[in-house]
Amino acid sequence: MKVIIEHCEPVLSTWLLLEYKYASKLIGKRNLIFSNVKNLAKGKLQRIGTTFSESITKLPFKKAELIVLDPKARKPLKASDLKSNPILVVGGILGEAIPLGRTHEFITKKIRNVKARNLGKAQFSIDGAILVAKLIEGGKKLSEIKARLNPEIKIRKNHSIQLGYAVPVIGKKLKITPGLIKYLKKDIVKDELKLIGGENPWQ
């Protein structure tokens, strides 16, 4: 299976890069293409896949070869969809608490009559969606795949973060993006401080 990730976010954040790196590990560097990659992100993404600056909506792939993974698609992805070795198109889009339909807006709508498939009602991360697709390719039905919706991750004593999406479970293990918990424990706290700023109310 080959995967094209259409990079749709304006910034290649640490979180997004962690998801892309796990996607590359899951599918293999040779099978991963990033489209819509502008100069700044190119260097980092060339280490984990092939890059194109053009959008998938403009690249000359045969439409019949593509399947867009889109939460708004009417039909669920099935193993039979993957038999002809299609190219899966996944949105390089970080999840929103309430999904905004950006996959449909940025990708599906722009490739007329392209085949689109969903992975059920729950929103997965980019790498999580690719993992679910791989399990389906391996013969599992969507209904047989386990996942945990909005899992809560303990960051430190009295501090936990809820991930606002579904995470696949294999065996008894949550398949969270490698490096994400470490990032949440350390760097995100610094980033939040930078973003939030604010004054000390007791001074």
Q: Could you say which of 64, 97, 100, 170 contacts ligand SAM (CB under 6 A)?
A: 100
Sign of CA dihedral 165, 170, 171, 177: negative
Instruction: Kindly state whether residue 35 participates in binding ligand SAM, applying the rule CB under 6 A.
Output: no
User: What distance in Å separates the CA atoms of residue 122 and residue 64, rounded to the nearest whole number?
Assistant: 26
Q: How far apart are CA 56 and CA 6, in angstroms?
A: 6
Restricted to residues 58-77, the positions that interact with ligand SAM (CB under 6 A) are 69-71
86 is an interface residue for ligand SAM by CB under 6 A: no
Q: Where are the strands (E) in 13-105, listed by range?
A: 32-35, 50-51, 66-69, 75-76, 87-92
Candidates 9-17, 53-61, 100-108, 144-152: pick the segment binding ligand SAM (CB under 6 A): 100-108
Name which position in 115, 118, 131, 176 contacts ligand SAM (CB under 6 A).
118
In contact, 19 and 126? CB cutoff 8 Å = yes
What amino acid is encoded at 104 in this protein?
H
Q: Which stretch binds ligand SAM (CB under 6 A): 49-57, 121-129, 146-154, 186-194?
A: 121-129
CB of residue 92 to ligand SAM, shortest distance in Å: 7
Work out which of 97, 101, 159, 182 binds ligand SAM, going by CB under 6 A: 101
Rg (CA), the chain: 18
Phi/psi of residue 163, nearest 5 degrees: -80, 125
User: Considering the rule CB under 6 A, would residue 125 count as an interface residue with ligand SAM?
Assistant: yes
Distance of alpha carbon 99 from alpha carbon 103, whole angstroms? 10
Contact set with ligand SAM (CB under 6 A): 69-71, 90-91, 93-96, 99-103, 118-120, 122-126, 129
